[in-house]
Amino acid sequence: MAVQNKKVLAQNISIGMYVSGLDRPWIETDFLLEGFYVETINDISKLQKICSFVYIDIELTKERISIEVTEPSLLAKIKTIATTDIKDISFNSHTKKSRIPQPETTYKKTSSFSSEFRTANQLYKDITLTASQIFSDVGSGKDVDLGSVKRSATAVVDSVVRNPDAFLWLTRLHEKDTHTHNRSLRTSIWAIAFSRYLGLEKEKLNNLSIALLLCNIGKAKLPFELLENEEELSNEEQLEYQKHVDYTLDALKIMGRTPQAIITVIRSHCERFDGSGYPMELMKDEIPFLAQIAGLVSYYEEITNRRIQGDSLDPTRAVEHLYSLRNKKFMSELIEEFICSIGIYPVGSIVELNSKEIAIIVEQNNNNQLLPKVLILRDDKREHVNVFKLLDLFEISQTSRVSPKIINTYPLGTFGIDVEEVTRGLAKVTEIENGMNNSWGLKNLFKKIVS
């Protein structure tokens, strides 16, 4: 009979449980055996210090204590994915054959968040103007300056390759802008960051970036009413709306200089894994892989940034929603990898810590995506902070006795937090950090917060 395991949060571990698995490789711990009974309070303390959750063998545990067997929640499963090393769930899996291609290259961060942010911030402004000009040109019947698009796309790819968090952060902060061309820009950035994570070669990152900057230009040919109400269209209106793909391809065909790889992504990015997409109703592997990536990130942008902001999903709910669409709208493995790439709490998310402070996610931690780097913006009374504090939650959890955690998420704009405040706060905290020992500062700042 197969071993039946149950996931248990670290705070719920009790004496008598048989721990069969951890939320990290055994080799990274000082436990001598891969599987053991929890015998003492010290065992519990050791597990809680290094793990957010463990897996227990139900049958062996029942020999010592009485437990209820319940199905873990969908969000708990997602958090399992978010804290699992990518190699364990996909590329080198021994339990199933993944439909995700093997990585073609390895990228490493070559610039700090603060230094890349300055570059990314200016690039974001520049490429926003480029995207706006594209739609203006198409709407007035002019040719698109593909050279300008390519230069902008390449500059963004180079920045994301150096450090993806800076551009992702800007993307999240600018979510409230629902203009079609800015949607295309944000989607392009999501695609670059995701493809970087998957290890796709740089040429494919460039092709995806250009394709997503251009893929919606055909919407400039649609009636304004369709664009304003695209989330509530009748069947007849939906068919008219779907013509935007053909309009885009027609515009690029007239120009005659667009590489075929880019055309392929544009033609298929609205197709869906279960055949419910358009214009050709392709299914599964009939959809080119880069187009599957483009479709997934476009959908994520759509559900997190509705034209009516109250209908948008916060990042955590969006991830949960995506997870429910595995092998329906999108390939299961692709969704899981995307969740791993952005984290359960994506960069730019507004969160509440267990210390009751309100913060914004600034940068992901590769060691544990549930414990990212955050910028504190509100104190425990929801008041503006006098001193901005940049905290590495994972480092704090590893080097002190406190256990920082994220306990809630909020839509951008909650508590009056806006782009200007966050940008100003990040600049100030960078100035402070330049004059202090970062590790000492983080630990002591958080101690003050939780005390």
What pLDDT, in 10s, does the model give residues 417-443?
A: 877 787 778 777 765 554 444 443 444
What pLDDT, in 10s, does the model give residues 148-175?
A: 888 989 999 999 999 998 888 888 776 5
Decide: pTM greater than 0.75. no
Domain definitions of the chain by residue range: 5-72, 113-342, 350-450
Q: What is the pLDDT of residue 90?
A: 36
**From CA 256, how far away is CA 263, in angstroms rounded?**
11
141-170 in b/e form (b: 16+ CB < 10 A) is: eeebebeebbebbebbbebbbbbbbbbbbb
Q: What is the pLDDT of residue 7?
A: 79
Q: Does domain 113-342 have CATH number 2.30.30.790?
A: no
- The residues, any chain, with a CB within 8 Å of residue 437's CB and separated by 6 or more, are none
Spans of the chain below 50 pLDDT: 1-2, 70-71, 84-96, 434-451
Q: What is the pLDDT of residue 376?
A: 93
Q: What is the pLDDT of residue 156?
A: 92
Q: What is the pLDDT of residue 328?
A: 93
Cα torsion angle, 259, 262, 267, 273, sign: positive
Identify the DSSP state of 221: G
